[in-house]
Amino acid sequence: MKKTVIAILLLALSCTPQVEENILCKVTLNLSLPDGRNMVSLTIDPTLEGNIFQNLNTGRNYPYPLIVNNTGQMTVLKGVYMLGFDGEAVFEDGSRVKVRFVSWNTPSTAVELLDDSHTLEIPLTILK
């Protein structure tokens, strides 16, 4: 009798569908300048202390993706993130400016990335 009950339980458990939850979020970064200019590229130095794309739960700091024509994509673990950086934007004519983004760089202003994909609109400030 015990063997029959165990066999039935094992059979019932094996029929349960496997639920796989996607734990990653594909993030698209759309950057913009106040004057509307298009950046050919944006370089963000990962060694600068304030340049963060940090998961608050795990403490992991992700490197920023290559930003080309105001857009970049990356994949991160779903969670709550602090973002902030200083970078150097390059334009078609070869001119360069320093830019900054700090809207989500503290735990109280952090952004949630909990969906399978998320687009972040990032307005930059030009530094003088």
Q: Please write the tens of the pLDDT for every residue from 34-93.
A: 999 999 999 998 888 889 999 999 999 999 999 999 999 999 999 999 999 999 999 999
Measured CA to CA, the distance from residue 81 to residue 49 in angstroms comes to 16
Phi-psi region of 39 (alpha: psi -120 to 50; beta: other; left: phi over 0): beta
Residue spans per domain, the chain: 21-126
Instruction: Taking the CA atoms of 12, 14, 17 and 22 in sequence, report the sign of the dihedral they define.
Output: positive
Tens digit of each residue's pLDDT (9 = 90 or more) over 82-126: 999 999 999 999 999 999 999 999 999 999 999 999 999 999 999
Q: Can you give the pTM of this predicted structure? A: 0.80
13 within 8 A of 102, measured Cβ to Cβ: no
**90 φ, ψ (degrees, to nearest 5):** -115, 135
The CATH code belonging to domain 21-126 is 2.60.40
